[in-house]
Amino acid sequence: MKPLSLLLAIGIGTLSGACVPLENRPVGNANVPQPSKPVELSRYLGKWYEQGRYEASFQAGCEAVAAQYALKADGTVSVINSCRQGSPSGALKTAEASARVVEASNGAKLRVTFFWPFEGDYWILDRAPDYSWSIVGEPSGRYLWILTRSRPVSPQEYSTLVSRAKTLGYNTALLRRTQQ
């Protein structure tokens, strides 16, 4: 595997949170809340676009970030993350993973594996009733993602989602807007 591909497998798989050891990143939320709503996996599956995130070295230079989730025959979830390097029209990078729903989490917590035996937490902390957006984090408070079903979102919609993240206790000054 090429070094860049390995980095990508660790990196773009960022929506899994902590598949790699925690970086020396600021903690944006010292008291990460438990997910607030149950999640129906069948409604969560599909394509998501990243609108904002806490910056992490494994996502350096990533724009036009997207994730595709699909149910596999064994009941786990196929994860295909992608980004464009440097700009929304840059070189395409992808990483594949597998996720499983954590028992007794009402479907709102997943464990994601990009390469065995390492797993990362993926907590759906909040979501729209119609599954048009979600706010994803993990227990350390060092990683946060704002995801939507629509690639472009208005500045007002983004601001509303940032406010929701702030309500969850996150330092929104650490958010980086993703170019889509």
Q: For position 10, what pLDDT does the model report?
A: 38
Q: Are 64 and 88 in contact (CB under 8 A)?
A: yes
Confidence of residue 14 (pLDDT cuts 50, 70, 90): very low
Give how far Cα 128 sits from Cα of 39, 103, 109, Å: 10, 22, 16
DSSP state of 5: H
More confident residue, 117 or 176: 176
Confidence of residue 176 (pLDDT cuts 50, 70, 90): very high
Provide mean pLDDT across the span 145-172: 98
* 10 Rama sector, left if φ>0, alpha if ψ -120 to 50, beta otherwise: alpha
Nearest to 122 by CA among 51, 35, 180: 35
**Tens of pLDDT, residues 24-63:** 889 999 999 999 999 999 999 999 999 999 998 889 999 9
Provide mean pLDDT across the span 124-142: 98
Structure tokens at 26: 């600021």
**Tens of pLDDT, residues 87-112:** 999 999 999 999 999 999 999 999 99
Q: Where are the alpha helices (DSSP H) in the chain?
A: 3-11, 41-44, 155-167
Domains in the chain: ranges and CATH: 3-19+29-177 (2.40.128.20)
